[in-house]
Structure 1
């Protein structure tokens, strides 16, 4: 169902909405993680968007919208997670 060529931008947001509709998922309660401005439509489609290691444009957009911004190291660890564990 999620096979094929990668999609981005509005197409990714439409695919996400279609997937959620078929599965009965509430996107307002869903999370999405992205690093590129091309994923802005997908992030706008969910209730819990997170910009991870965002490019400059996405970082600015995320801050303007009050979204969470995380910086993960090369191993995928989030800032401060190891300190909390």
Structure 2
């Protein structure tokens, strides 16, 4: 799904990129990406249950108890990908 969002936003962005200027899109993309990651970090810290996986040496977050937080993290991930494609 990430690849579909990336391609759709990139192809639609190509028309407006030279018309409106590249600087606005770069600033907009950076601001939206930073806001998305900030909110994902806050949701993971407050609502997610961290579980360390010793075989992969990483921490996974489980949102089993709060489905809306997991859905919000997924939606913010897609918004992050779209913002990356814009910039």
TM-score, normalising length: structure 1 = 0.29
Q: TM-score, normalised by structure 2?
A: 0.28
- Which gives a bigger RCO, structure 1 or 2 (Cα 8 Å, sep 6+)? 2
| Larger radius of gyration between Structure 1 and Structure 2 | 2
Which structure's residues are more often helix, by fraction?
2
